[in-house]
Amino acid sequence: MGKPTLAVWKFTSCDGCQLTLLDCEDELLAIADAVQIKHFPEATRKDLPGPFDVSLVEGSISTPAEAERIKRIREETGTLVAIGACATSGGIQALRNFADLDEFQRIIYPHPEFLHSLEQVAPIAAHVDVDYELRGCPIDKRQLLGLLSALLKGRRPDLPKGAVCNECKQRGVNCLLVEGKEPCLGPITQAGCGAICPSYNRGCYGCFGPSDSAQPEALIPVLSRLGLADPDIVRMLRTYNAAAPKLAAAGDRLEGAHDDA
């Protein structure tokens, strides 16, 4: 039996999640030895045809050509994993979903008539079935290695559940919100980074996106009590995972409350 085949695909993104894989310096040779890499634009010009046992997909879908390409990749892939904030919620480029796309294109490009953009930037799961998602901007190296080794051994990957707050408790980090030091999105953010920011006395800004049980509406009054005005809270919710439905809905409701006033 040959080695399992791996492909790494790029859509609308900055390449940071692909770089996380390249960053696995110590483990990279073992990975390269355990799989046949068929496509990985950040690492090799090699471009072999499918099928692919595992596809790691970075980036969001923002053009009609990308919407077609991801369907072809899905058809040729056994296990498809969306990696990073762009692939799992649309990424920072989905901020344009909250603005006038035509106006942006007119301001930025001398010939917007050559652009072919979808009205909305969307995550991979909005276009095809996704088997697993790795969150983060960028993804966490340990999670990526854990996922790859599980898939190679035919195991189900054990991905973190719960919120960043759980990881603060595990690390013994004092809570920035409780101590009134910093606004923090940890209570509504998917665990997985190991609470990096709070461990350096920085509030979590939500780069892993909302957790399954996130309730942004419950956190908003807490952020207000720390002195944040509603437009500041909307800006906090609209960053790397702005288009994640729970964050988008909470931001829209806050904005709408002011529109109605």
Least separation, in Å, of the C-beta of 125 and ligand SF4?
20
Q: How far is CA 19 from CA 86, 139, 153, 201, in A?
A: 14, 10, 24, 27
**Shortest Cβ 223–ligand SF4 spacing (Å):** 10
Least Å from the CB of residue 2 to ligand SF4: 37
Q: Report how far Cα 24 is from the mean position of its chain's Cα atoms.
A: 19
**Nearest CB to ligand SF4, comparing residues 98 and 205:** 205
Q: How far is the CB of 185 from ligand SF4 (least distance, A)?
A: 7
DSSP one-letter code for 124: G
**C-alpha to C-alpha distance for 42 and 27, rounded to whole angstroms:** 17
Roughly how many angstroms between the first and final C-alpha of the chain, as a whole number? 67
Q: How many CB atoms lie within 10 A of CB 64?
A: 11
d(CA 85, CA 107) in angstroms, rounded, equals 26
Nearer to ligand SF4, 92 or 207 (CB): 207
Residue 172 Cβ, how far from ligand SF4 at the closest point, in Å?
A: 11
Contact residues for ligand SF4 (CB under 6 A)?
Answer: 164-165, 168, 173, 175-177, 184, 186-187, 189, 193, 195-198, 204-208
Reduce the DSSP state of residue 90 to 3 states and report it: coil
Nearer to ligand SF4, 21 or 137 (CB): 137
Nearer to ligand SF4, 36 or 239 (CB): 239
Lookup result for tokens 């999640």? 17
**CB closer to ligand SF4 out of 84 and 123:** 84
Q: Which residues of 129-139 are buried (b: 16+ CB within 10 A; e: fewer)?
A: ebebbbbbbbb
Write down how long the chain is.
Answer: 261
In the complex, residue closest to ligand SF4 by CB = 186
To the nearest 10 degrees (0 to 180), the angle between helices 230-237 and 245-260 is 160
For residues 128 and 165, which CB has a smaller minimum distance to ligand SF4 in the complex?
A: 165
- Report the nearest approach of ligand SF4 to the CB of residue 29 (Å): 27
